[in-house]
Amino acid sequence: MDHIDYDIDLTPEELELKEAAHTFAKEVLRPAGIQIDRMTPEEATAGDSPLFDVLRQASELGFSRMNAPEEMGGVKMTPRAAVLVNEELAWGNSGLAGAIALASTHATIALALGSGEIVDEFARPFFTCTDGSIIGCWAVTEPDHGSDSLGVMQADMAVKARGQLIARPDGDDYVLNGQKAAWVSNGPIATHALLNVHLNPDGKLDQGGICVLPLDLPGVSRGRPLEKHGVRAMTQSEIFFEDVRIPKRFMLLEQNAYAPYMDAHLSLFNAGVGVIAAGLARAAYEAAVEYARERIQGGKPIIEHQSVRARLFRMFTLVQTCRTLSRGVFIYNGTAMKRGVPVKLEHSIASKVYCTNSALEIATLAVQIHGGNGLSREYPCEMFQRDAMSMTIADGENAYLTQLAASRL
């Protein structure tokens, strides 16, 4: 939409990438996202689901392989270019943007933390694969530990409870037993996982470890794909582990390194969710403007009525503040380690909470501007609203994250 962009310093390469991502979002993600939204979770995850074609194309175009250098097979982008691409993908469909981003989780973390052997086993195969057949996920939350699993970096929020996925050392291996929550995104279709485990079953939840593993090991099984409200194109399920044996080298870090790692991990993921929410917010705003220009009531297009314009201006202001905040935080935290400075979790939480709350407000206003049509499936607004609602809970429920961030100020 012509009045949205106000960047004056993008390089020709960045503009080209943004344009390519927008075309993919418009021609592939928007229609596929709407189609998958209307499928049952079983249909959405079946072999002939459009989800797999989306992941294949995203991989071919490099949009799921943005986190690795070219010599590793990746398409190394600057954090600024990655923000532009992710915002466009989320404009197409926020659930699919999430599925694409999460597909690389195990490989990205293996590359960042792993030995040469781990990089060769987990990172290189993903980044050199261009057909989307390797799919990652991040399995962290458990049925009894949602928020509790995410606040472990903060001593006063780390609770003592029995963890539900225990890793027991046994010779050169760990043996995994237990389960992860029904909310593991990409859970039903993932080939690999980045997995949070508990090393002290009855200790505080901050006594954990982070490992990578293939999900075709004996003893791994999944629950039914989850039937849910929003971001239905990003499919979810429980993952169960029964005496699953992994070599100790799959454990990338443990114990004292666990809580600081979770701080950095949540910082990067919350920053990413902020960008996805900004893309979704923009999609809902643009749909409302388009509709308001066409819909005639009171003898003229409704955009000419003062109350409609005022609502659109509120939405416009929120969209632009979301884009500015999410970009700034993603670039700051995305480059922090390279610059040798700590990542700032409170900045990422500010972006995640602000952008997802704003996306929900904007999508709700978009539904109202569409009148009765906003509630019909002929228009995408009701889906945008459901997707935005889901994102206020994904990667930490907003009120909990606010409490976590506020206590660090």
Residues in contact with ligand FAD by CB under 6 A are: 138-141, 146-147, 150, 180-181, 183-185, 231, 390, 393-397, 399-400, 403
Measured from the CB atom, the residue of 147 and 191 that comes closer to ligand FAD is: 147
User: Which residue number is nearest to ligand FAD in terms of Cβ?
Assistant: 146
Measured from the CB atom, the residue of 118 and 150 that comes closer to ligand FAD is: 150
**Contact at 8 Å (CB) between 148 and 261?**
no
**Contact at 8 Å (CB) between 362 and 403?**
no
Structure tokens at 68: 């690795």
d(CA 289, CA 1): 9
Give me the least distance between CB of 307 and ligand FAD, in Å please: 33
Closest by Cα among 49, 69, 61, 67 to 25: 61
Give me the least distance between CB of 62 and ligand FAD, in Å please: 22
Which is it for the CA torsion 256, 247, 141, 205, positive or negative? negative
Give me the least distance between CB of 11 and ligand FAD, in Å please: 33
Structure tokens at 368: 């109202």
Give me the least distance between CB of 2 and ligand FAD, in Å please: 32
Measured from the CB atom, the residue of 312 and 392 that comes closer to ligand FAD is: 392
d(CA 282, CA 279): 5
Give me the least distance between CB of 271 and ligand FAD, in Å please: 15
Structure tokens at 305: 């009525």
Give me the least distance between CB of 206 and ligand FAD, in Å please: 14
Residue type, 356: T
Closest by Cα among 36, 18, 161 to 95: 36
Measured from the CB atom, the residue of 231 and 251 that comes closer to ligand FAD is: 231
Give me the least distance between CB of 386 and ligand FAD, in Å please: 10
Measured from the CB atom, the residue of 73 and 95 that comes closer to ligand FAD is: 95
Counting every residue written for the chain, the total comes to 409
Give me the least distance between CB of 178 and ligand FAD, in Å please: 13
Measured from the CB atom, the residue of 240 and 247 that comes closer to ligand FAD is: 240
What ranges in 221-344 are assigned the alpha helix state H? 258-294, 306-339
Measured from the CB atom, the residue of 103 and 139 that comes closer to ligand FAD is: 139
Burial classification of residue 105, based on how many CB atoms lie within 10 Å of its CB (0-12 exposed, 13-18 middle, 19 or more buried): buried
Measured from the CB atom, the residue of 186 and 207 that comes closer to ligand FAD is: 186
Bridge partners, residue 179, by sequence? 240
In DSSP notation, 21-82 reads HHHHIIIIIHHHHHHHHTS-HHHHHSTT-HHHHHHHHHHHHTTT-TTS-GGGT-----HHHH
Please name the residues in contact with 14: beta carbons below 8 A apart, sequence gap of 6 or more: 78, 80, 81, 84
Give me the least distance between CB of 204 and ligand FAD, in Å please: 14
Measured from the CB atom, the residue of 38 and 229 that comes closer to ligand FAD is: 229
